[in-house]
Every structure is written in structure tokens, then in C-alpha cells.
Amino acid sequence: MKKLLSLVLAVLMTATLCLSLASCGEAKSFTVGICQIQPHPALDAATQGFKDALVEALGEENVTFLDQNAHGDATACTTIITDFVTKNVDLILANATPALQAAYNGTTTIPVLGTSVTEYGTALDIDNFGGLVGGNVSGTSDLAPLDQQAEMITDLFPDAKKVGMLYCSGEPNSAYQVKVVRELLEAKNITVTDFSFSDSNDIAAVAAAAAAASDVIYIPTDNTAATCTEAINGAVLPTGTPIIAGEEGICSGCGVATLSISYYDLGVTTGKMAAEILKGDADIAEMEVAYAENFTKKYNRANCEALGVDIAALESAGYVAIGD
């Protein structure tokens, strides 16, 4: 009887060990919800970089993406996030500020990574933000050095006395960038005037007013402006007023020059953060917001030629043509 009992125990232990080993050999599968505020090249590139990095880290067969786009409707972001929470996804990517705000308010348990967000303190109403959101939120910032963008305005157009700030009043991160650049320009005795629009319906009229009243226009990394560059270009280019843009996508549509990051690379960084969280190698509560490391001076060849901007001088100063 004792021999039989020992044999049964041995068989059970062996079976348990085999199941355990088999289990260890199987990679865990994850579901990741992606909420992107709207389609445009910069945000699309960030989403693609995120996906590519996460697939590379986890394997294509081990990650399922629920990819949703709010098409510019902040209310839709809330609906999308609520659906992700109901489905209990393993992680949420919030692409752009309205998506991050919806995710931040929508869950305190599911890890949330933002990307294409300029300033997390402004976006999430955190006083004296030092880089760590804490809780279940972290991510990456698309903030380029605003002092260098301000210098770009004065370096390229030294005779400019009036600069118009063109941005969407409903985007807090746009307002943050405008505030910083305004202070830098006013310190150089340049008159700065805000020209804010509420949505795409009035953007052409506001852009035309900015062009008529300004020597140079500055557009920050503004999501609404990024989807309306054709309308802005149509209103501004015929007046001969140059635009300095906060990122490459806006510059390629209506600008002259920009100091921009790679949004694809920003997405890759975010994807690597996600992989660490999902694999249990990092605690999101302890992950500080990551910033782009590389910035490139770029110019829009067609608009520079149309406005008579010296392209040879730009290239001598280290500018690279968009698309080259």
C-alpha cells in the first residue's frame, strides 16, 4: 500500500512539474488599447513606432491592439477609454493630450502611457510637475526646446517686430508653448499677439488675420492646426508671411522651418516602456516621463522658394529639407 501511494505521489509530482515547465515555456498574451485623438502624420507615426517596438519586444502573436481614433472629438476619447476599461485591457496608449486626459480620468488601475503630449503637468493639472506622474500613468513628451524655436524666429527673420501666435484655444499644451515662446520673444522687445481659434471651422479666418497683423507666425505642436495645414497655407502663403512651426508635420503643410523630433522614435520609446511594464520589469508608478533626445532643424523647400527664403543659408546653418 505504501509503495502504491509513493508511486501515485511520484506520478502526480512529475505531472505537476511538466505542466509547470510547459506553462513557463508559453509566452503570455496581452491586449493593448490605443486611443488617438485624430489622424495626422505626427500622431500616426507615434502610434506606429509604439506598435513596432511592442511587437518586437513581445512577439506579434502575443499582443493584440485595439486601435481606436477619436477623429478630433475629445468626448469620443472618453467613450473609447470606457470601452477599454470594460474590456479590462492590459495597457492603454493615449496618443495626444485629450486622449491622456480621458485615460487619466477613466482608470486608476490599468497602466496608461501617454505619447505626443507636450507637458504632463499642464495636461493633468499637476502643480510643480517634476517628471513623475505616479500612480498608473507615465509616458513620453514631444516637447522640443522652446528657447531654440524662439531663437529660430529671430535668427531667420531678424527684422521681425511682430509675431503672431496661431493655436487652438482648446488645447492646453498649445497654450503652454505659446506662453513660453511669448515670454522669450517679448524679452527681445518683439510684440507678440495671440490668434487663437476654437476649432477647424474658424481656422482659415483666424490665420488670415494673423498673417495681416504679423511679420512672422508661430504655430506650436497643435493637433487641430496639424489637421488643417492646407487651410492655413491657403490663407497665409499668399500674404508672404512666414510660419515657424513646432513640428515637422505642420511645417511640411504650411511652414517655412521647424525644430522637430521624430514622432516615430517617440512612439518606439513609449513602446519599450510598455514592454517593460507588461513583462513586469518596471513599475509604471516609478517611471518618469521620457523626452526626445534628438532634434532636427528642417525646412519646407516649396514654401521657402515661394517666400524667397535663402535656402543656401538655411543649409549652411544646418537645416535639412523635409523629405530629404
Task: Give the pLDDT score at 26.
Answer: 59
Mean pLDDT of 155-179: 95
Q: Which secondary-structure segment (H or E) carries 320?
A: strand 320-321
CA–CA separation, 160 and 190 (whole Å): 8
Q: Say which residue the cell 527673420 belongs to.
A: 157
Cβ 111 vs Cβ 285: under 8 Å: no
Mean pLDDT of 85-109: 97
Residues 6+ apart with CB under 8 A from 87: 31, 33, 66
- pLDDT digit string, tens, across residues 256-301: 999 989 999 999 999 999 999 999 999 999 999 999 988 999 999 9
Q: Is the pLDDT of residue 142 over 60?
A: yes
Q: Is the pLDDT of residue 204 over 60?
A: yes
Task: Give the pLDDT score at 162.
Answer: 98
Q: Is the pLDDT of residue 107 over 90?
A: yes
Calculate what percentage of the chain has a pLDDT beyond 70. 92
Number of Cβ within a 10 Å radius of residue 168: 24
Stated pTM of the model? 0.83
CA–CA separation, 242 and 211 (whole Å): 9
Reduced to 3 states (helix: H, G, I; strand: E, B; else coil), residue 217 is strand
Mean pLDDT of 216-226: 95
Task: Give the pLDDT score at 176.
Answer: 94
Q: Is the pLDDT of residue 12 over 90?
A: no
Task: Give the pLDDT score at 17.
Answer: 41
What distance, in Å, lies between the first and last C-alpha atoms of the chain? 82
The burial of 72, by beta-carbon neighbours within 10 Å (0-12 exposed, 13-18 middle, 19 or more buried), is given as middle
Mean pLDDT of 184-212: 96
- pLDDT digit string, tens, across residues 223-233: 999 999 999 99
Q: Is the pLDDT of residue 203 over 80?
A: yes
Query: How sure is the predictor about 146, in pLDDT bands with cuts at 50, 70 and 90?
Result: very high
Task: Give the pLDDT score at 13.
Answer: 45
Distance of CA 219 to the CA centre of its chain: 16
Dihedral of alpha carbons 224, 230, 232, 235, sign:
negative
Mean pLDDT of 162-189: 96
Task: Give the pLDDT score at 19.
Answer: 42
Cβ 198 vs Cβ 245: under 8 Å: no
Query: How sure is the predictor about 323, in pLDDT bands with cuts at 50, 70 and 90?
Result: confident
Q: What is the dihedral of CA 41, 42, 46, 48, to 10 degrees?
A: 10
Task: Give the pLDDT score at 225.
Answer: 95
Q: Is the pLDDT of residue 27 over 90?
A: no
Q: Is the pLDDT of residue 122 over 80?
A: yes
- pLDDT digit string, tens, across residues 47-59: 999 999 999 999 9
Number of Cβ within a 10 Å radius of residue 83: 15
Buried b vs exposed e over 254-274: b needs ≥16 C-beta within 10 Å? bbbbbbbbbbbbbbbbbbbbb
* pLDDT mean across residues, the chain: 92
Q: Say which residue the cell 482659415 belongs to.
A: 204
